[in-house]
Structure 1
Amino acid sequence: MVAHVLRLRFDLLLGGLRGEPDHVIRVLVGLVAAAAAVVAAGWALLSLESAANTTAMVVTVFAGAAVTTGFAVAPLIAGSADPLDPRRFALFGIAPGPLAAAVALASLVSVPMMALVALACCAAVMWGAQGAPVAISVVSAVISVVTCVLLARVGLAAAALFLRERRSRELSGVFLVGILVVVVPVGVFFASLEWRGTVPTQLAEAANVLALTPLGAAWALPAAVVSSEMNAGASALIAVATILVLGLLWSWLVQRLLTTAERPVAVRERGGLGWFAVAPGNAAGAVAARSIIYWARDRRYAVNVLIVPFAALLTTVPLTIAGVPPALVALVPVPIVALFFGWLPHNDLAYDSTAVWLHVVSGMRGVADRIGRLVPIILVAVPTLAIGIPLAISLHGRWALLPGMVGVCACLFFSGLGLSSISSALTPYAVSRPGDSPFQQPQRTGGTGVLGQAFVMLGALAFSIPALWWAWLALTKDVGYAEPALWGGLGIGVAVLSIGIAVGGAVFNRRGESIMEFAQAG
């Protein structure tokens, strides 16, 4: 059976070279480009034979972890059909266990996997020249390849089960933003290091941490054996445990696929629903999808978001004029951005105008409305802060303050969102109507607008005082206070956000008639 599956896989691979001449030329060009990339990467690995152990370890661990992450994420983003989908073999009556093993083995017959095997072999040869035992180098290469194979299979199976009917450009955009959130901070960290002909200490420490994760443990195994500063036993245990967990998960997914009917292709026509096809099929998901569409198309939201970074940067001008050191000024804008992002939804309900009646008359729970309205600002704020925080720390020059900065920004942002969830339902005030100029402000008959704005802004600052204080102590006295700032800020922020959503939902339920009157009067 395994031989039959492998033969089918070879036939599918060779089938890519058949067809129209233009198609064949494109495939051949792609194969040549892939081969060139593999040769360049393999030569780079082999050139590390005479390098220091630390240099070889850092390059191997980071490159291996990046490759492993790619095999995990690519199936979720690509959206292509899996030629080895276990459901294609359902009619042959093969047991789930043997079928899972056969499909995983046949997965090696593909261009990405062949490139991975070549790179793993180059890494094994390089570590052999570095003094690592041949057996350890070979085992490391095998475990690394098996981990990537299982990650790819698990990703493809999960996509087939849960994402096929919702695969769209919106979902792919979310994944790409997630990759951006990871890649940009890492790039900023690398660019800020001072190499001076050797591997920076911070980079070596980061590689040591990555060697104790499922992404880098297998690749780091030869380095851990060679170096006395690394824990070879822990890396080996994590690498083996990763394979066992992925193997069990893959076996369970195969069994689930064989007992689940494949969704009809016609379901993919729902892709025209855009964000509604991506969001969860519940009340909060519907509100989130509608809010994302509003944020993307309504100029009033765009103006609010664009003002935030400019307002934060303006605060640096008086500080610079006053003679505050540039290293300290660099830390100021990002927390202000986090505060304003948390403050922005404080009147989100008013921007709906009369459309809010959909939420009221449908009997939607207030909590669902509160959660759904926060999704767009989270999708905007998280990537912005993920890029801004490392940039600020890089300009400051002390990466040890990174946890404190994350804690402060998280506390300000989450606290603002929680209080905004209350203010939006309790004290909405008139804004420019849909289609009007974003800078046109209607007349207000009361002071509720000022009260709501102050409540959110000052409340978020008040709840963030502990995190701000710990971060200040980390900056001026002992950097060890950065950790309390991180966990304290996250804890306080999440608590305020949860309580704010619950209270705001209760207020929304109680004030349904008043909200309708406000929408009609606006």
Structure 2
Amino acid sequence: MAATLIRLKLRLMANDFGRSLWTIFGTALVLIYGLGMATIFLVIQIRMGDGNESFQNVLSMSVLLGAAAFLFWILIPVFVAGGDALMDPRRFVTFAVPRRSLILGLILSAMISVGSVITVVWLIGQVMLWRWDLGALAVALLSLPLLLITYSMVAQAITTAMSAWFGGRRSRDVLALLGMAAAVGAAPIVITVMNAFETFGEALPVIVEVLSFTPLAAGPALPAAVAEGDLLGAAARLGVVLGTVLLALLVIRAALVSITERPAAASRSRTARRGAIGFFSLVPAKPWGAVAARCLTYWLKDPRYGGSLIIVPVLAVVAVFMSAQVGTVWMLLALGPFVAWVLGFGIAADISYDSTAFAQHVTAGVRGTDDRLGRAAALLVFALPLTLLAAGIPAALEGGAGTVVVSVGLSLGMLLVGVGVSSVTSARLLYPVPQPGDSPFATPQGSAGRSLVMQSASWLIMIGLMIPELVLWIVWLITSETWAAATLLLIALGKGLLVLGWGIRMGARVYDRRLPEIYQQVRSYA
């Protein structure tokens, strides 16, 4: 049965490649980049394994690369690919596959991926890194398959747990909050540890030693313990690795039991109160107002929309803490433009997020102008005040009037340009996105190449349109002249409004001209 599941994974991958050239392009791009980085580290590992490097340097290289590889297997399934979409455990509920066979098949099929290829290259380098000691070399060779299986099991445990316990909106919101808390807390922890030492060179051995007794790097540190003759330390690290494997296995089993034997009960429906029409009661009784009200409802209730806003408070907290610790204000001053860039890009995939609900626009005959204006207005309702706060408050606290003018000008210009560009690209450059009810972190299988190209094109256009403001910003940094700050603000607002108006008009033309094709393309992603 496990062999059947592996063949199924290979067949599904082949079908996916045959259906979309973007899938081939995206996979090849990721593979080339990943192999390029892995090859660089391979060369470094071979060089450091010649016996001339100090033991501490070799240990640090082994532990840090191992921790990075482990984090790669943890974070990529959650935040980039949303798990193995081809082998979602829920797909096997009706096939009555024996649990042991299903667990083994899912673990082995998880190893058929681009990540495995990249990891194997690093593991070969890990073996070459310890070739100067026969005992460490033997342990590195024996631990190679153990580490690959461990990473695969951990990734599968995360994927299965996401499918079993984080399918509902409330669970996803909790997960997002935990992720936000982890992101906010990571910087203070790192800085606190670094402040306890005079230099990074003093802190590194302690960091490496701690990591070598955690699941992140216990496996890669096994050869070091053998090279030192520390059998007790080797046994402790091996116990951590085996404990990680056992914990991952228990999580996979519990999640499969939840999926196959204890499915969640259907959510209870709620009856809407008479006359409670939400945002529709607050907008003008115009077609564009109805579009804006619907989009505002999505921003409030659809985690795929709101999930993109989680980064805003995270950036604010990290910027404040880092600026206080390091003693520089550039991170605080960069907060406004960066928040504006994130929010301005927020409607770049609006139509794709509509999925089959976009049929309402088609059948109701919504004009392109109303569609583009309504979506832009819904975003600007909250994006404008957030941008002004992110740009104005830090600038007022850390600089004079000129700093406030420059920061607000750059931020508003970036926001308006971003919304204008997104109004065009969201109608012309469509790409697959998570479907309604899916995790906001999930990426549809085969969409990586297409989405990467479309998003990169939008970002390049936005940066190109912001060149005048960037030039004036550099002039102001050099001269601190008031005229440069005032000119920047005027140009940012004027050009931003022009780009916004142009984007709505051009996007409306594209929308009206390609409406059947847009709906057909969106429907194909569902």
TM (norm. structure 1) is: 0.48
TM (norm. structure 2) is: 0.48
Query: Could you say which structure has the greater relative contact order, defined with CA pairs below 8 angstroms and 6 or more residues apart?
Result: 2
